[in-house]
Chains A and B, each alone.
Chain A
Amino acid sequence: MEERPKPASATSHKRMVLKNFSEYHYLKIQLVFGDEKDRLSAVQLKSLILSALKELHGEVGASYPLDVLKFDGKTSSAILRIKSSGLVKLWTSLTMVGQYQGQLCSIRVLQTSPFLLALAGNSRELVLD
Chain B
Amino acid sequence: MALFVDLNITNCKEVKKLQSMIEMAAHLGYSAVAINHVAEFGKKKAEIVKPIATKDLFPSPPTVQGKSTPIKILTRLTIVASDPSHCNVLRSSSPITKLYDIVAIYPDTEKLFHTVCTATDVDIICINVTEKYPFFFKRPPLRPSSHRGIFFELIYTPAIKDFTLRRNTISNALSLMEVCKGKNIIISSGAEKPLELRGPYDVATLGLPFGLSERSAKSALSTNCRAALLHGETRKTAFGITYTMKKPRDDEEEEESAEPASKKAKKE
A interface vs B, CB < 8 Å? 32, 34, 55-56, 88, 91-92, 94-98, 104-106, 108-109, 124-127
Contact = CB atoms under 8 A, between A and B. Distances in A.
A55 B170 CA distance: 14
B232 interface: no
B66 A109 contact: no
A55 B195 contact: no
A88 B195 contact: no
Interface of B: 28-29, 65-66, 68, 159-161, 163, 166, 193, 195-199, 201-203, 205-206, 208-209
A92 B193 contact: no
Given A109-B199, A125-B65, A55 B163 contact: yes
A32 B28 CA distance: 13
Contacts of A124: 29, 65-66
Contact of A95 (B29, B66, B198): B198
A91 B68 CA distance: 28
Given A88-B208, A96-B166, A126-B66, A32 B195 contact: yes
A88 B205 contact: yes
B161 A98 contact: yes
Contacts of A104: 193, 195
Contact of A96 (B28, B160, B193): B160
Contacts of B198: 95, 106, 108
B160, B193, B205: residue with the most chain A Cβ atoms closer than 10 Å: B205
B194 to A, nearest CB: 8
Contacts of B160: 95-98, 106
B163 A125 contact: no
Interface-centre pick from A34, A106, A127 (highest chain B CB count, 10 A):
A106
Contact of B205 (A55, A56, A92, A105): A92
Contacts of A88: 205, 208-209
Contacts, number: 53
Contacts of A96: 159-160, 166, 206
B195 A105 contact: yes
A91 B197 CA distance: 15
Contact of B209 (A32, A92, A97, A105): A92
B158 to A, nearest CB: 10
Nearest to B65: A125
Contacts of B209: 56, 88, 92
27 contacts: A32-B195, A34-B195, A56-B166, A88-B209, A91-B202, A91-B205, A92-B205, A95-B202, A95-B205, A96-B159, A96-B206, A97-B160, A98-B160, A98-B161, A98-B196, A106-B160, A106-B196, A106-B198, A108-B28, A108-B198, A124-B29, A124-B65, A124-B66, A125-B66, A126-B66, A127-B66, A127-B68
Nearest to B205: A91
A127 B68 CA distance: 9
A106 B66 contact: no
A106 to B, nearest CB: 5
Given A109-B201, A127-B66, A92 B206 contact: yes
A15 B65 CA distance: 39
Contact of A108 (B66, B159, B202): B202
